[in-house]
Chain A
Amino acid sequence: MNESKKRSHIQALVIGGSAGAVGALMQLLPGLPGGFPLPVFIVIHLPPDDKGTLAGLLNSQCQMIVQEAEDKEPIRPGVISLAPANYHLLVERDFSFSLSQDDPVFYSRPSIDVLFESAADAYGSALAGVILTGASADGARGLQAVHRAGGRTFVQDPATAEVPTMPQAALAACPQAHVLPLSQLARTLCALALPTELHASLS
Chain B
Amino acid sequence: MNIHTPQTEDIELDLLVEAIYRKYHYDFRDYSAASLKRRLLQAREHFHCQTFSALQERVMHDTDLLPKLLGYLTIQVSEMFRDPTFFRALREQVVPHLRTYPSLKVWVAGCSAGEELYSLAILFREEGLEERTMFYATDINTTALRKAEAGVYDLDRIALFTANHQKSGGKSSLSDYYTAAYGAAVFDKSLRKRTVFSDHTLASDAVFAEVHLVCCRNVLIYFNRELQDRAVGLFKDSLVRRGFLGLGAKESLHFSAHAADFAELNREERLYQKRA
Contact = CB atoms under 8 A, between A and B. Distances in A.
Interface of A: 8, 11, 70-74, 84, 87-88, 90-93, 96, 98-102, 114, 117-118, 121-126
B56 interface: no
Contacts of A114: 38
B35 interface: yes
A87 B77 CA distance: 12
A102 B38 contact: yes
User: Which 7 residue pairs spanning A and B have beta carbons closest together?
Assistant: A90-B34, A98-B32, A118-B34, A100-B35, A72-B255, A71-B221, A101-B77
Contacts of A90: 32, 34-35, 38
A123 B221 CA distance: 21
Interface residues of B, number: 24
Interface of B: 1, 3-4, 32-35, 37-39, 75, 77, 218, 220-222, 224-225, 228, 250-252, 254-255
A121 B37 contact: yes
Contact of B3 (A84, A98, A118, A124): A124
B3 A102 contact: no
Nearest to A98: B32
Interface of A: prevailing SS: mixed
A99 B251 CA distance: 9
Contacts, number: 73
Contact of A11 (B3, B77, B221, B251): B3
A92 B221 CA distance: 12
A74 B225 CA distance: 11
Contact of A99 (B33, B39, B228, B250): B250
B232 to A, nearest CB: 12
Contacts of A122: 3-4, 34
A91 B38 CA distance: 12
A92 B224 contact: yes
